[in-house]
């Protein structure tokens, strides 16, 4: 058998280290020069857009990212003489107070359940409102109705709490006046445990539904009329048009809003849960959420480490839920996912 | 058109960028050394902040210049409620200040001392504030001590609790009821209150539904039992000790040892207190719906109430009220750490001029002209004292009670209350009366005890949250099930670590007792 001639493997020419370094440096330099050239080209074309978003970027950096360095306080005992980064490390000790209370379960339950109700009910009502407002053909009437619905969003919760109190005050309230003038017995609403879940949900919807519907109205108005015309030709009723044209077109924005809302699931609206029930102790089992607990707990202690820990806890849980929700939505409908 | 749009876009963007400049944090006031003077920055609060604040500050600075101390002061006055809400944020944000008012604010003195936020002024005080120290009662500095070092000082003011009532003698005369000559706490006054209610309802049946008292503050536990909370504030009296030297009848039954830490809500007295408040509401003496209370109809000052209650005053001029108001001061003055700290001040750790700051406080407490200017503004503009009788005559622009120019009577926050000239109606020896009452007060046995909560922060936070709501509910007296509320609160408190809190407090108190030789 004839042996295959062995191919000779020639050793590569070994370049001197200095030359190789120079070449590598040159590559890097070329990379950066290209990058710079690309940047300059990009900026020449888009500089005005960048200038426009510069304030937003600065604000985002200043108020959202720069403070993140302060998160270190969540794991330290703050010492003013040593500064923000100089305190003694205490591990997760600052987080303990969130779970120390016997009400930890009630607080977590209230925070999550209320938010879920707000998200689901808020979504249904604001979409319904947007659909309804869209159907109003009289322009003037539509504008007035829309303004009436949006106005409560701009009221401070303190004002809202006074409005609610005007209705529910034990001795002067409208509701009790109606009850007593019809021979009923006065109800002390601010100690009525069963009423408050409904009152809080109602107040929240009153404040948010109108404003939230704006974004859905914008989406509805951008849907091409051709879809509706085609549906009409196929004999679709108004309801069927809503279900088979409008809502599918709104799905991406609904999903994005849902993901955004889920990010705040561990945040309780402080104004709603503290100011509206007027800090009444008797209804705490249904009004105490994470934010009100943190406020009451920290009122006398003033511990920046513990408050940082609380904020971090809420944000981390929110982030996990956002990622999870986005993952699920992506599995169901990739186009509707946020990222 | 395209260029116009571009120009507009650039202008808009520039405007937005510049608007960010408004987000610049805090005051950049630093050491204000100009022509050899040192600027002292002081954050404090006042009941009323009038338009003459700048004039007052200018007058104070002109006077300081004249005195040649090389000090210039920059006041940052806030309304009291606003100060409570914002001072924590202002302080934690690192805003520069030399002096900070810590009394009656949201700032926790002890925890800030532990975090080295305030300067140790133990050695600086005798050198810079010798006269002030002479005016302070015994134990005053003990209240501001932590591990043997002094971190703050009280202003010269009323430093003990003496409750007082401005009693409506027109009403008493009309109804033929006598007011007790001597009284110590509200327990002594209950029979009189009920007697007045009965007589009024009989004589004026149409007023039977009108409340006789508007004393939600009077529902505080401290008005009924003199307890000394060791967490630094009376608003958290669930762990407290009694005060040495108080008549035994006033002490919580079964607690004879001043150094025993206990949970007030667990004592029978807590139920008695809650029941009494509830009864006062039920019997129509106090309003049921306090927040809907029609203050226009039942205004304290117009004579609808039996008394107007407060604490600290030794004298209130008759003309404040529209009825024959006579002051009745409790027989007992009590000095606890909480009271001693009510108007306290600290020099911040960041202060570049601590000695000058203390010298300023010394001057306010000892210089009559300065103390008076702080209260009524510049002489001539806010006040005059033509007959030099130590009683000021207010100028026209400072006389209208609804729109004062600058009127901080009695300005306890700044100190100098024993030195200042007084407004019309007050006795010229008001300062002497005040100092005498301070000296005669019964002192807490553990005035110098500061509870280091570092190891029990979580328990304290959890218990505070429960206590906050329970106490408010009981204080309003709206619920019949007060016993159940107290029982549930106690259950939750212990589940949240109250026992750990009590044990830690007891341990530290025992150590203090031993170290202080008490």
Per-residue pLDDT reduced to its tens digit, A240-276:
999 999 999 999 899 989 888 988 898 999 999 999 9
CB contact under 8 A, B458 and A59: no
Using the beta-carbon criterion (under 8 Å), do A296 and B469 form an inter-chain contact? yes
Distance CA A132, CA A249 (A): 16
Q: Is the ipTM of this complex over 0.90?
A: no
Q: Burial level of A130, CB count in 10 A (0-12/13-18/19+)?
A: buried
pLDDT at res. A36: 93
Which residues 263-302 of B have a C-beta within 8 angstroms of A?
A: 288-289, 291-292
pLDDT less than 50: residues of chain A: none
B20/A62 CB distance under 8 A: yes
What is the 3-class SS of B271-286, one letter each residue?
HHHHHHHHHHHHCCCC
Q: Give the global pTM.
A: 0.77
Chain A: nearest CA to B468, how far in angstroms? Answer: 7
Judged by CB atoms closer than 8 Å, whether chains meet at A296 and B289 is answered as no
Residues of A in contact with B288 (CB under 8 A): 170-171
Give the whole-angstrom CA distance, residue B456 versus residue B500.
8
Residue found under tokens 């009108």: B210
Chain B residue nearest residue A82, CA to CA: B116
Which residue of B106, B468, B495 is in closest CB contact with A302? B106
Complete DSSP assignment for B108-123: -HHHHHHTT-B---TT
**Does A101 contact B460 at a Cβ distance shorter than 8 Å?**
no
Asked if the Cβ–Cβ distance from A58 to B236 is below 8 Å, we say no
**Do A302 and B88 count as a contact with CB atoms less than 8 A apart?**
yes
> What would you report as the CA-atom Rg of chain B, rounded to the nearest whole angstrom?
25
Question: Which residue in B107, B116, B462 is closest to A101 by CB distance?
Answer: B462
Q: List the 364-383 stretch of B: residues with Cβ below 8 A of A.
A: none
> Which pLDDT does position B386 carry in this prediction?
87
List Cβ neighbours of A37 (8 Å cut-off, separation of 6 or more): none
Q: Which of B18, B465, B496 to mutate to test the interface with A (most CBs of A within 10 A)?
A: B465
pLDDT at A298: 78
Taking the Cβ of residue B479 and every Cβ of chain A, the question of whether any pair is shorter than 8 Å is answered with: yes
**B234 vs B220, B337, B342, B394, CA distance in Å?**
9, 10, 11, 36
Residue B410: asked if its preceding bond is cis (omega within 30°), the reply is yes
What's the confidence (pLDDT) of residue B41?
96
Residue in chain B closest to A188 (alpha carbons) equals B478
pLDDT of B28 reads 46
Q: Count A/B contacts: CB-CB distance under 8 Å.
A: 149
Cβ–Cβ below 8 Å for B457 and A306: yes
**Which residue in B has a C-alpha nearest to residue A292's C-alpha?**
B465
Mutation target to probe the B interface, by most B beta carbons within 10 A, among A48, A105, A300, A310 is A300
> Taking CB atoms and an 8 Å cutoff, what residues of chain A touch B466?
101-103
Q: Does B85 touch chain A (CB under 8 A)?
A: no
- CA distance to partner chain B, nearest, from residue A172 (Å): 7
Taking an 8 Å cut-off on Cβ atoms, the answer to whether B106 and A299 are in contact is: yes
Q: Are strands B345-347 and A76-79 parallel, antiparallel or unpaired?
A: unpaired
Write out residues 157-216 of B within 8 Å (CB-CB) of A: none
Distance CA B279, CA B275 (A): 6
Instruction: Report the gap between the CA of B29 and the closest CA in chain A (Å).
Output: 19
Q: Is B16 on the interface with A (CB under 8 A)?
A: yes
B462: which chain A residues are within 8 Å (Cβ-Cβ)?
Answer: 97, 100-102, 297
Residues of chain B under the 50 pLDDT cut:
25-31
Nearest chain B CA: its distance from A333 CA (Å): 37
pLDDT given at position B290:
60
Which residue in A58, A82, A191 is closest to B20 by CB distance?
Answer: A58
Are the beta carbons of A281 and B462 separated by less than 8 Å? no
pLDDT value of residue B126? 96
Interface contact B490, partner A, CB < 8 A: no
Please return the burial class of A32, using the count of CB atoms within 10 Å of its CB with bins 0-12, 13-18 and 19+. exposed
- Chain A contact for B349, CB < 8 A? yes
Q: Which of B272, B62, B60, B306 is nearest to B167 (CA)?
A: B306
- What is the greatest pairwise CA distance in chain A? 119
Secondary structure letter of residue B34 according to DSSP: B
B-chain CB neighbours of A81 within 8 Å are: 116, 349
Minimum distance, in Å, between the CA of residue A224 and any CA atom of chain B: 29
| Helix (H) and strand (E) counts in chain B | 18, 17
Kind and range of the H or E run holding A250? helix A247-262
> Which chain B residue is nearest to residue A63, measuring alpha carbons?
B23
Residues of A in contact with B16 (CB under 8 A): 54-56
Residue of A81, A94, A293 with shortest CB distance to B349: A81
Instruction: Quote the pLDDT of residue B484.
Output: 94
């Amino acid at each position: 058998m004839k042996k295959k001639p062995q191919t000779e493997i020639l050793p590569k020419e070994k370049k001197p280290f200095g030359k190789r370094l120079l070449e590598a440096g040159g590559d890097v330099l070329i990379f950066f020069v290209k990058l710079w050239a690309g940047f300059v080209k990009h900026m020449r074309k888009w500089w005005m857009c960048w200038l426009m978003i510069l304030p937003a970027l600065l604000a985002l950096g200043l108020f959202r990212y720069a403070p993140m360095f302060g998160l270190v306080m969540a794991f330290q005992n703050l010492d003013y003489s040593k500064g923000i980064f100089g305190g003694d490390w205490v591990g997760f000790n600052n987080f303990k107070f969130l779970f120390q209370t016997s009400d930890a379960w009630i607080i977590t339950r209230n925070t999550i359940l209320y938010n879920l109700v707000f998200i689901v009910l808020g979504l249904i009502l604001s979409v319904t409102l947007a659909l309804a407002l869209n159907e109003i053909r009289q322009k003037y009437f539509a504008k007035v109705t829309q303004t009436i619905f949006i106005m409560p969003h701009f009221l401070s919760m303190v004002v809202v709490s006074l409005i609610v109190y005007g209705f529910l005050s034990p001795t002067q309230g409208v509701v009790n006046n109606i009850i007593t003038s019809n021979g009923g017995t006065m109800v002390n609403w601010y100690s009525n445990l069963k009423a408050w879940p409904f009152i809080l949900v109602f107040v929240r919807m009153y404040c948010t539904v109108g404003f939230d519907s704006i974004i859905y109205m914008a989406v509805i108005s951008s849907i091409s009329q051709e879809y509706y015309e085609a549906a009409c030709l196929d004999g679709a009723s108004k309801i069927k048009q809503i279900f088979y044209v409008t809502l599918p077109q709104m799905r991406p924005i609904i999903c994005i809003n849902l993901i955004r809302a889920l990010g705040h699931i561990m945040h309780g609206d402080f104004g709603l849960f503290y100011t509206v029930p007027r800090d009444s102790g008797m209804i705490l089992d249904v009004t105490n959420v994470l934010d009100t607990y943190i406020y009451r707990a920290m009122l006398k202690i003033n511990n920046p480490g513990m408050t940082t820990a609380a904020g971090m806890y809420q944000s981390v849980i929110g982030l996990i839920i956002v990622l999870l929700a986005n993952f699920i939505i992506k599995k169901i409908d990739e186009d509707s996912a946020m990222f | 058109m395209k260029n116009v749009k571009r120009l507009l876009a650039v202008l808009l963007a520039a405007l937005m960028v510049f608007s960010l400049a408004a987000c610049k944090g805090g005051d950049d006031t630093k050491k204000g050394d100009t022509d050899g003077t040192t600027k002292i920055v002081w954050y404090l609060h006042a009941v009323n902040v009038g338009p003459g604040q700048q004039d007052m500050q200018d007058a104070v600075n002109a006077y300081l210049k004249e005195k040649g101390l090389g000090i210039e002061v920059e006041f940052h006055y806030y309304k009291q409620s606003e100060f409570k809400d914002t001072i924590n944020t202002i302080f934690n944000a690192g805003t520069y200040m030399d002096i900070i008012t810590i009394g009656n604010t949201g700032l926790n003195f002890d925890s800030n001392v532990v975090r080295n936020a305030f300067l140790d002024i133990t050695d600086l005080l005798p050198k810079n504030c010798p006269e002030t120290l002479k005016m302070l009662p015994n134990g005053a500095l003990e209240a501001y001590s932590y591990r043997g070092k002094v971190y703050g000082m009280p202003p010269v003011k009323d430093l003990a609790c003496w409750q007082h009532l401005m009693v409506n003698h027109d009403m008493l005369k009309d109804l033929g009821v006598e007011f007790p000559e001597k009284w110590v706490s509200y327990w002594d006054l209950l029979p009189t209150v009920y007697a007045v209610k009965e007589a009024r309802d009989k004589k004026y049946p149409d007023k039977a539904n009108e409340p006789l008292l508007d004393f939600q503050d009077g529902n505080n536990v401290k008005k009924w039992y003199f307890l000394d909370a060791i967490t630094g504030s009376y608003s958290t009296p669930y762990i407290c000790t009694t005060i040495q030297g108080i008549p035994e009848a006033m002490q919580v039954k079964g607690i004879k040892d001043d150094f025993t830490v206990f949970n007030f809500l667990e004592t029978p007295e807590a139920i008695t207190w809650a029941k009494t408040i509830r009864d006062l509401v039920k019997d129509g003496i106090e309003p049921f719906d306090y927040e809907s209370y029609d203050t226009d109809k039942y205004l304290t000052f117009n004579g609808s109430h039996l008394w107007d209650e407060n604490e600290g005053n030794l004298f209130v001029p008759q003309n404040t009220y529209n009825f024959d108001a006579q002051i009745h001061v409790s027989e007992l003055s009590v000095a606890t750490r909480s009271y001693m700290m009510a108007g306290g001040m600290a020099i911040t750790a960041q202060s570049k001029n601590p000695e000058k700051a203390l010298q300023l406080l010394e001057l306010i407490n000892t210089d009559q002209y300065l103390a008076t200017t702080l209260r009524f503004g510049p002489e001539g503009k806010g006040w005059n004292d033509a007959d030099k009788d130590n009683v000021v005559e207010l100028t026209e622009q400072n006389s209208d009670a609804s729109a004062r120019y600058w009127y901080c009577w009695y300005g306890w926050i700044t100190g100098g209350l024993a030195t200042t000239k007084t407004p019309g109606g007050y006795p010229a020896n008001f300062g002497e009366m005040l100092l005498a009452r301070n000296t005669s007060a019964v002192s807490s046995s553990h005035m110098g005890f500061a509870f280091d909560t570092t190891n029990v922060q979580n328990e304290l936070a959890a218990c505070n949250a429960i206590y906050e709501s329970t106490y408010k509910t009981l204080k309003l007296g709206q619920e019949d099930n007060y016993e159940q509320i107290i029982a549930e609160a106690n259950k939750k408190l212990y589940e949240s670590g109250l026992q750990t809190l009590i044990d830690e407090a007891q341990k530290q108190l025992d150590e203090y007792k031993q170290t202080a030789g008490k």
